[in-house]
Structure 1
């Protein structure tokens, strides 16, 4: 994605968000449609219970619509939604299982990353073999690394956004991605 495309996307997101905040139902629906699949996939990294995921997504969107006029401006709707959904989902999971930590939740899930890098990493292997190999390789990453890689490469969040979302310093996020890439490169050779 070029700088111009990124700039346009941010301006487009900012404009769409502004319309939604003013009560534009079509803008709200567009935000929902454009981001629902990303939220569902992200939710599956925490729990396989589809009803919990759906309930928390609905809670996020209901709250956004109800409090739309009070919301802060954003130029990255996906980041805003992922962060809101993550907070809502973890609050709900903690309420249901008070003693379970985030990293235990994340490591228990069978995260399936449909990495967009598949074709560039190993072009000669079939998709099925590569998928199996990637899942095995991602299993070697820590839970934190899995989540950061997912947010960085699948959802295209910045290091700063990921750090803010996860309560980590930007440098810690960068280091986690760097270490994860070293592991992935080594394992995928």
Structure 2
């Protein structure tokens, strides 16, 4: 299924997420908005993985194909989240007082890489012909589901911590700002809604 995926622009490459000078934003406000958006995509990833797991357990070939397709979409979403968190880690320079947030970001990045690996491996094994490989793929989907759930919650927690820190410095982020979802997130949402 990997060859069926379309390339999606990582969320962090959104022009709206850069400062007017063209360089990526590195302040609390930009980090907050990116983490809030990534938490939302994390929940979409969790939903796609959960739906994929359910469809893979069905008897009909068409249902299993839908499950494999949803896991393939989850790979793209996990790749986007991983790239954005890596970009945030390169551009965001936390203050010395934000050491806890820096550690939380490192943990979040690790979780994202684990999730990307689990979805990639699940996608690979689900494409194989043997029942043992498909069983391995199903177990990896369950692993990815747990990781997606943790990643979404941890991203939301870190965004909340950034908002509190920004409030302490007088630069409270505006939670009402919404950015468009990535093409992969829109594809998953459309697939889940058509079910």
Q: TM-score, normalised by structure 2?
A: 0.26
- The structure whose RCO (Cα within 8 Å, separation 6+) is larger is 2
Q: TM-score, normalised by structure 1?
A: 0.27
